Amino acid sequence: MTELPPLSPELLPEGVRARFVPGINGLTVQILEAGFEMPGRPLLLLLHGFPELAYSWRKIMVPLAAAGFHVVAPDQRGYGRTTGWDPEYDGDLASFRMLNLTRDAVGLLTALGHDHATAVIGHDFGASVAAWCALLRPDRFRAMAIMSAPFAGPPALSDRALPSEDIHAALAALPRPRKHYQWYYSTRPADADMRDCPQGVHAFLRGYFRMKSADWPGNRPHELAGWTADEVATMPTYYIMDRDRNMAETVAAEMPSPEAIAACRWLTEDELAVYGGEYRRTGFQGGLQWYRCRTGRVLEGELELFAGRTIDVPSLFIAGKADWGTYQRPGAFARMQREACTGMRGAHLVDGAGHWVQQEQPEQVTELLLRFLREAE
Pick from 70, 51, 50, 71: which is nearest to 59 by CA? 71
Q: Which of 48, 123, 180, 355 is catalytic?
A: 355
Q: Which of 75, 86, 104, 124 is catalytic?
A: 124
Pick from 285, 257, 251: which is nearest to 96 by CA? 285
d(CA 174, CA 330): 20
Query: Is 124 part of the annotated catalytic residue set?
Result: yes
Cβ-proximal residues to 110 (8 Å cutoff; 6+ apart), any chain: none
Cβ-proximal residues to 359 (8 Å cutoff; 6+ apart), any chain: 56, 59, 266, 267
- Rounded to the nearest 10°, the torsion over CA 363, 361, 209, 90 is 60
Class of residue 193 by CB neighbours under 10 A (exposed 0-12, middle 13-18, buried 19+)? buried
| N-to-C CA span, the chain | 42
Query: Is 75 part of the annotated catalytic residue set?
Result: no
Pick from 129, 329, 153: which is nearest to 239 by CA? 329
Omega within 30 of 0 (cis) for the link into 51 = yes
Q: Which residues are catalytic?
A: 124, 355
